[in-house]
Structure 1
């Protein structure tokens, strides 16, 4: 290792491969790496919890600090410090440098030996840190000319779908809008999800529960419920890379929760949490199709029971949804209009 502690600071809105290059370079040359992220104002889709999750998932060994004014105030209060606010993005460079030095000493209780950037301001940044810390701080510039990874946050934010190759899959996943299709048995849900998924730029995640039911010979155990929900969510993550538009999700863990309660009268706590997974648009298919018994379904009355349960749950959870009725074409037109407005 070249340095004891390295520092990387950025907005990371979003975290792209250029940022990752700098952080990985720091990790290779330092025993410890501190990563600080803040921006004022915030950028849509890059809120602090997301940025923190991206950084912790991609760099689990780093000491990560992601701030907004509320988070900063909480840190100050917890340490008995006067409450401060973030400097605005347009504030002078020296104000940001002094602020980061204060974050290191007051909030993190440490100093650094090197600061890693891909920008020209790094030398001045290192000089300010050295003056505040009372020991040398070296600036290490990484790919300033962007030869290795030609990217900028502004470019990516302008069209995330077009530049998704410059984001890790787990980061890009947060920018793909997901449409959930719910409904009782024989309500046209799977057909509609598939049709929407066939629209240019979209992809469809099929219902894993049905596939697993066939694999299990038509028998479910309690543990199968959590496995189904986990796999359904995992398939969503896998299909994200296949779309530059919406991701059509044929059922969600909420469906698995219904079957767990119906079959076993209880649900695993993790399944309960997965059932609260948010979606950008939720469509509930009305039970107004002629009921078709394909050998796997229960009686028509069960379909009505499912529909009523979905309505109740969505209302109780405060989840906005659109109820779809009529033919597949009529329903698809509503879905396209709704997702078009959201996009």
Structure 2
């Protein structure tokens, strides 16, 4: 398929939901570059356009050196517009006013578009005003039955229509069909080994620590922005693994621990990562902490053994700060497996 040079999407994205993601991804597959304008007037005071824009950019930011957002191979340019800075017309203004506003704004930015993508009735007339093609994406909401208005009215009930990163910013967690159990622990405390052993013993899936994967891929040279990316990718991998899980999904590490490492390495933490850490108590049905009593294994990636005790204490402090109940597991791998299974009332036959 020959791609058109530049596509355009205009919307409130209030908040960005799965339907928006379908629109963005369908559009990106058909153009060489995708321009997205985010605005509303009056704007949302608790999640203004600039914040919603940052959520969209983060959803599609990869781990490559070039930090610009992209969907597949298509660069994504997302702009937050406001009434104060850009003269955004009121939402209630006639369609002709909005069409002309966008046309003038694009011209002022030197941006020429070739196609408009939308899931709304206004799309055809809007594209005509710009003199470009119009492509409709899931107007009937059959692929993703979602409504931004309904979401704003009851975000907790409709959290399944949100990416976990966006949901966390709103203080909710999308539901899952299997309970998720997270294992935490300092470096070389046996949590990865225990996760794998539990998955085998319970005939289910488990999710390795994505932070470790990226750390090794980048030869230990993580950037500040990588920590939020790690947390986002980890929950995406959890969602993917949940489809193969049998009764329970075991997860190696959570966003709260990733936030700890952000402070450890960079002395700061992105607010989006802080929000993901804050909902860990809702995301996981049970939290287990591996006692740092197994022999320390040097692997060229870990810090000194003396750091392990401090890390363990910080994890416990953070859990208590968030009010997250946890169970400490000790002993050999087999003993720890039995401790977890007993706590979760899982039989060996399952």
TM-score bucket (shorter structure): 0.5 to 0.7
**1:176 paired to 2:171:** yes
Distance 1:250 1:67, change over 3 A: closer
Q: Deviations over 1:220-241 (max 9, x none)?
A: xxx99x89x9699576777799
Using the alignment, how far apart are the partners of 1:12 and 1:86 within structure 2?
15
**SS of the residue 1:97 aligns to:** helix
User: Does the 8 Å contact 2:16/2:52 carry over to 1?
Assistant: no
Match of 1:278 in 2: 274
Distance 1:164 1:31, change over 3 A: same
User: Does the 8 Å contact 2:278/2:322 carry over to 1?
Assistant: no
**SS of the residue 2:160 aligns to:** helix
User: How far does residue 175 in structure 1 lie from its aligned partner after superposition?
Assistant: 2.7
Of structures 1 and 2, the larger Rg is shown by 1
Q: How many corresponding residue pairs?
A: 242
Match of 2:97 in 1: 95
Q: Which runs of 5+ in 2 are unaligned?
A: 61-69, 174-178, 193-218, 243-253, 280-290, 295-308, 327-350
Match of 2:8 in 1: 7
Q: Which runs of 5+ in 1 are unaligned?
A: 74-83, 131-136, 179-201, 217-222, 243-248, 259-266, 283-292, 297-301, 311-320, 329-343
User: How far does residue 214 in structure 1 lie from its aligned partner after superposition?
Assistant: 4.7
Q: Deviations over 1:155-187 (max 9, x none)?
A: 222223322332333333333359xxxxxxxxx
Using the alignment, how far apart are the partners of 2:239 and 2:292 within structure 1?
30
Distance 1:93 1:252, change over 3 A: same
User: Does the 8 Å contact 2:4/2:114 carry over to 1?
Assistant: yes
User: Does the 8 Å contact 2:15/2:52 carry over to 1?
Assistant: no
Match of 1:192 in 2: none
**1:159 paired to 2:159:** no
Provide TM-score, normalisation by structure 1: 0.52
Distance 1:239 1:50, change over 3 A: farther
Using the alignment, how far apart are the partners of 1:203 and 1:215 within structure 2?
15
User: How far does residue 203 in structure 1 lie from its aligned partner after superposition?
Assistant: 7.4
**SS of the residue 1:155 aligns to:** helix
**SS of the residue 1:209 aligns to:** coil
Q: Deviations over 1:102-126 (max 9, x none)?
A: 221112x122222111111122212
Distance 1:86 1:5, change over 3 A: same
User: Does the 8 Å contact 1:52/1:66 carry over to 2?
Assistant: no
User: Does the 8 Å contact 1:7/1:115 carry over to 2?
Assistant: yes
Deviates more, 1:231-240 or 1:3-12: 231-240
**SS of the residue 1:125 aligns to:** helix
Q: Which runs of 4+ in 1 moved over 6 A?
A: 234-242, 293-296, 321-324
User: How far does residue 20 in structure 1 lie from its aligned partner after superposition?
Assistant: 2.4
Match of 1:66 in 2: 79
**SS of the residue 2:268 aligns to:** helix
Q: Deviations over 1:288-324 (max 9, x none)?
A: xxxxx9979xxxxx99xx89xx9xxxxxxxxxx9899
Q: CA RMSD in A?
A: 5.0
Using the alignment, how far apart are the partners of 2:31 and 2:259 within structure 1?
45
**SS of the residue 1:268 aligns to:** helix
Match of 1:123 in 2: 124
